[in-house]
Amino acid sequence: MSGMADFWITTNNFVLDLTQRLELDVQGLENLHRDQWYLVTCNHQTWADILLLQRICLPRIPMLKFFLKQVLIWVPVIGIAWWALDFPFMKRYTREQIENQPDLQGKDLETTRMACEVFKTAPVSVLNFLEGTRFTPLKHQNQQSPYKHLLKPRSGGTALVLNVLEQQIDVLIDITIVYPESAKGFWDFLCGRIPRVIIRVTQIQIPRELCQGDYEKDTEFKTEFQNWINQIWVKKDSLIEDILSG
């Protein structure tokens, strides 16, 4: 199944090469290996991000697997493919739903844990968009995000992935995607209105102590883990500002 998925991604890349005049400025892909486990993070602006991530990562690292909203399993053909490839489907609950049904508390994290147990069997790259959603100016304003170009990161799922895959994952691959021109929507991408994309890849050694704590119950560990993620996000925000300012 993974081989079929690799072939599908390779075909996508070939079609993009034929149909797009896209200049990709990529740095930081050295010393990556197909036979290792990785945790991958990235800022998220458009569905095109996923196509670009697949393009630069294959065949340097194992196939990217990311968490999907539960409703996406009903997408024709692709939904079944995601299911067959062990992509974890997440069903998030609102605060009101949890208040009405307390037993829903922690269900999404339990799904994450079960998915990660499967990931132990073979090298995999677990992709997590820490912002949890695509960036828009409105979301940025509503969040009152302290970052200029990013939404606030969510750390719980990442902490659980590292906890379950403690023996497998040593390196976090932090990818920053910047669209220098104003057009950055998925339709703009398909129509060839995005002439240039800048991508920077940073490999970060994961502190072992951040793989061994209980994010949900240990307040001190939770604060320490969030501080680590926030430091990565501060550097990413600064990097995006530097790139956009030329």
State residue 108's pLDDT score.
Answer: 67
CA–CA separation, 46 vs 59, rounded Å?
Answer: 23
Task: Give me the amino acid identity at 204.
Answer: I
Look at the chain and count its residues: 246
**Tens-digit pLDDT string for the chain (246 aa):** 778 888 888 998 898 888 888 899 999 999 999 999 999 999 999 989 999 999 999 889 999 988 777 788 888 888 888 877 777 777 666 667 667 777 766 666 677 777 778 888 889 999 999 998 899 999 999 999 999 999 999 998 899 889 888 889 999 999 999 999 876 788 888 888 889 999 999 999 999 999 988 888 899 999 999 999 999 999 999 999 999 998
**What residues are paired with 126 via a beta bridge?**
39, 65
The pTM for the full model equals: 0.89
DSSP letters of 61-110? SSPEEE-EEGGGGGSTTHHHHHHHTTPPEE----HHHHHH-GGGTTHHHH
What is the β-pairing status of strands 169-178 and 196-205?
antiparallel
* Helical pair 219-244 and 156-164, crossing angle rounded to 10 deg: 110
CA–CA separation, 55 vs 165, rounded Å?
Answer: 25
- Domain containing 203: what range? 2-240
Number of domains in the chain: 1
Residues 37/124, Cβ–Cβ less than 8 Å: yes
Distance of CA 102 to the CA centre of its chain: 29
195: tokens are 């002439």
State residue 179's pLDDT score.
Answer: 94
CA–CA separation, 244 vs 224, rounded Å?
Answer: 31
Distances in whole angstroms, Cα of residue 224 to Cα of each of 50, 145, 202, 211: 30, 20, 21, 11
Task: Give me the amino acid identity at 9.
Answer: I
Best CA proximity match to 127, nearest among 193, 49, 223: 49
In a domain, 8, yes or no: yes
State residue 183's pLDDT score.
Answer: 67
83: tokens are 């299911």
CATH at 186: 3.40.1130
Distance of CA 166 to the CA centre of its chain: 18
In a domain, 245, yes or no: no
CA–CA separation, 95 vs 232, rounded Å?
Answer: 28
In a domain, 140, yes or no: yes
In a domain, 246, yes or no: no
Q: In what order do the strands lie in the sheet with 37-42?
A: 23-27, 196-205, 169-178, 37-42, 125-128, 64-66
